[in-house]
Amino acid sequence: AQKVTQAQTEISVVEKEDVTLDCVYETRDTTYYLFWYKQPPSGELVFLIRRNSFDEQNEISGRYSWNFQKSTSSFNFTITASQVVDSAVYFCALSEAGRDDKIIFGKGTRLHILP
């Protein structure tokens, strides 16, 4: 069965610091998809990135970067030079390409960026 673990429940950093959010996943499928979503204090869920299991290239989007390592079953998210607006709950999610069409989320990491 698929599983997503976000071991960091809550993180606080001072503005402009870099911060990494960890995501470890479990799956039996060889083809699968990983996602990150952001939930700001307003409550909506905002898509950040998706990655399929055949693409291990790291991705950078502005201050955001993602490190996908199949060897450790991890898909970590780094925010560089954090800003107060980055304060939110961040969720990692997993979807398998097999017959099961579930999308399973981790418990989320609440990130506080302190001014």
Partner 1 sequence: NAGVTQTPKFRVLKTGQSMTLLCAQDMNHEYMYWYRQDPGMGLRLIHYSVGEGTTAKGEVPDGYNVSRLKKQNFLLGLESAAPSQTSVYFCASRDGHPKDEKLFFGSGTQLSVL
Q: Of 14 and 103, which CB lies nearer to partner 1 in the complex structure?
A: 103
Q: Please give the residues from 27 up to 56 whose contact with partner 1 meets the rule CB under 8 A.
A: 33, 35, 37, 43-45, 47, 50, 52
Burial of 69 per CB tally in 10 Å (0-12, 13-18, 19+): exposed
Distances (CA, A) of 12 to 6, 18, 44, 53, 103: 15, 11, 21, 31, 28
What's the closest the beta carbon of residue 81 comes to partner 1, in angstroms?
26
DSSP-assigned beta bridge partners for residue 95: 33, 103
Among the listed ranges 13-21, 70-78, 80-88, 103-111, the one in contact with partner 1 (CB under 8 A) is 103-111
Q: Of 41 and 101, which CB lies nearer to partner 1 in the complex structure?
A: 101
